[in-house]
Amino acid sequence: MSYQQARWTEPLIFELSKPGRTAVSLPEKSPEGVNIPKKLLREQLGLPEVSEPQVVRHYTRLSQMNWSVDSGFYPLGSCTMKYNPKICEELAALETVTCVHPRQSEDTVQGALELIYKLEKYLAEIVGVSRVTLHPSAGAHGEFTGMLITRAYHKFKGEEQQRTEVIVPDSAHGTNFASAAMAGFSVVVVPSDARGRVDLDALKNAVSDRTAALMLTNPNTLGLFDDQILGITDIVHGAGGLLYYDGANLNGIMGKTRPGDMGFDIVHYNLHKTFSTPHGGGGPGSGPIGVTRELERFLPVPVVEYDRKRDHYYLDYDRPDSIGKINGFYGNFGVLVKAYAYILLMGAEGLTEAAETATLNANYIMRKLLGVKGYELKFDSGRPCKHEVVFSAEPLKRETGATAKDIAKRLLDYGVHAPTYYFPPIVHEALMIEPTETEPREELDHFVDALKAIAEEARSSPEKLRTAPHATAIGRLDEVKASREPILSWRMHKKSRPRMPTSSVEIIREMRARS
């Protein structure tokens, strides 16, 4: 195995600038002048001036220094980095998608409304809820929407003042805590038990007439299915609270069980995980939520409805109990098109096969790595995991001093993206591995072999880990300095220049001088 990422010394686009260059041509100017008083106009604009070939080379080179699913294995736990079918991109790029304005007259957007209406129905069936809204832009946005619906529900019942607490397990993702807080709730944390499940006794103690909701993901962030789920829902419902399902981990159970059947009242989806819409270097995603019949009245406006008699889809704003709006229009439509295509491509059978294979692949890695010196499972190794598995590298750290981060960095040299590390927080030196269903067995074997080899290296040549990665575009960065003396823009860089060492341009100049 050998891997080497592209390694361009690519200056900032500003450093390529020369007066008078441009990468666009514009249509002829209208003879009509601009009718804006001079005092409102700007005198100067510090954008770079570069030609089209330069722009193309610059961003092509940058793209070559960027790991992606299309480059290789990306087992980033909790993120479901599965392959994204190209056909979905093609469909989302159609003019009948990209050139449709959200405020066009309803008669001219019937295709878009139909897609939204049908996608809602499919998603509702997949998790077993009554109604879905596609508005939220990402998982966390769905959580926020769900928490506002929780608030609206308790207000509707006259208990808004009293129900101020949201319960979150200690293994939860950071967004859960933050979303509850953003909606004005205080957060109560419950611990996990020895098997990584919600500690039922602690939960019983935590619930009260102040409980607004419990936020939970199942399978949890350890990749384990909480088999006490029915007990959990009973306890929370018994106390008058709602159950919120964080759908980040849906890929492990699709077609096998449904959050709605487990008793959840509000369920979010990450279309950019489970439904294969690409992650775009950090987004855009889409985080629809589904709710029970009782909560439908609180969904954001507008809701897409269908008038069978007229065979006409329309936007319904007349929903007096709605929480309002959470973004400008109707959600990330361009992303929804991809998820809709994906569901049609997979069908019920394909989605189930995806969940089964994702689970099989994670268990395969678990089995292969179990017993390898240096790595261990902290919770319940006797049971199968679901779509992901969380190992602890604590034994290796004790033995050699190498951290989970060192291992992660060294993995990059093996041509594999690092797993998520140091999450969930309840596992020390956590390596959270999510292979997804779109990896061939050969890749899984390579990954396991790499982890074994790295454990050996930690013993025989520990500096290889400490100084890793070597095969990437750049070596380890000074992230502490980056936050302590932040340089967040070209403007700030120009002001702080003396602090910075050589710029790329200067490096190039030096190299030229040397050769």
Ligand X SMILES: Cc1ncc(COP(=O)(O)O)c(C=O)c1O
Footprint on residues 342-361 left by other proteins (CB under 8 A): 343-354, 356-357, 359-361
* Residues in 465-504 at the binding interface with other proteins, rule: CB under 8 A: 469, 472-479, 481-483, 486-493, 500-504
Number of residues that bind other proteins (CB under 8 A): 210
Q: 447, 454 in Cβ contact below 8 A?
A: no
Q: 276, 299 in Cβ contact below 8 A?
A: no
What is the number of other CB atoms lying within 10 angstroms of the CB of residue 64?
14
Q: 462, 386 in Cβ contact below 8 A?
A: no
Q: 217, 246 in Cβ contact below 8 A?
A: yes
Beta bridge partners of 382: none
* Residues in 186-225 at the binding interface with ligand X, rule: CB under 6 A: 217, 221
Give the residue among 257, 274, 265 at the shortest CA–CA distance from 130: 265
Angle subtended at Cα 29 by Cα 28 and Cα 32, rounded to the nearest 5 degrees: 145
For residue 50, the partner it binds in other proteins, ligand X, none, with Cβ less than 5 to 8 A by kind, is other proteins
User: Which one-letter amino acid corresponds to residue 445?
Assistant: D
For residue 216, the partner it binds in other proteins, ligand X, none, with Cβ less than 5 to 8 A by kind, is none
Q: Which of 244, 245, 340, 379 binds other proteins (CB under 8 A)?
A: 340
* Residues in 162-191 at the binding interface with other proteins, rule: CB under 8 A: 173-175, 177-187
Q: Is the dihedral of CA 59, 61, 66, 68 positive or negative?
A: positive
Q: 264, 289 in Cβ contact below 8 A?
A: no
With binding defined as CB under 6 A, does residue 248 bind ligand X?
A: yes
* Interaction pattern, residues 40-69, with other proteins; x per rule: CB under 8 A: xxx-xxxxxxx-x--xx-xxxxxxxxxxxx
What is the number of other CB atoms lying within 10 angstroms of the CB of residue 87?
12
* Residues in 124-143 at the binding interface with ligand X, rule: CB under 6 A: 138-140
User: Which one-letter amino acid corresponds to residue 485?
Assistant: E
**Closest CB to ligand X among 282 and 498?**
282
CB of 165 to other proteins, least distance (A): 11
* Residues in 293-352 at the binding interface with ligand X, rule: CB under 6 A: none
What's the CA gap between 505 and 16, in Å, rounded? Answer: 9
> If you count them, how many residues does the chain have?
515
CB of 185 to other proteins, least distance (A): 8
User: Which one-letter amino acid corresponds to residue 58?
Assistant: H
* Residues in 26-65 at the binding interface with ligand X, rule: CB under 6 A: none
**Closest CB to other proteins among 208 and 352?**
352
With binding defined as CB under 8 A, does residue 450 bind other proteins?
A: no
With binding defined as CB under 8 A, does residue 1 bind other proteins?
A: no
What's the CA gap between 365 and 437, in Å, rounded? Answer: 12
With binding defined as CB under 8 A, does residue 156 bind other proteins?
A: no
With binding defined as CB under 6 A, does residue 168 bind ligand X?
A: no
Q: Which of 73, 79, 266, 430 binds other proteins (CB under 8 A)?
A: 79
Give the footprint of ligand X on this chain (CB under 6 A).
78-79, 138-140, 173, 175, 217, 221, 246, 248, 270, 285, 287
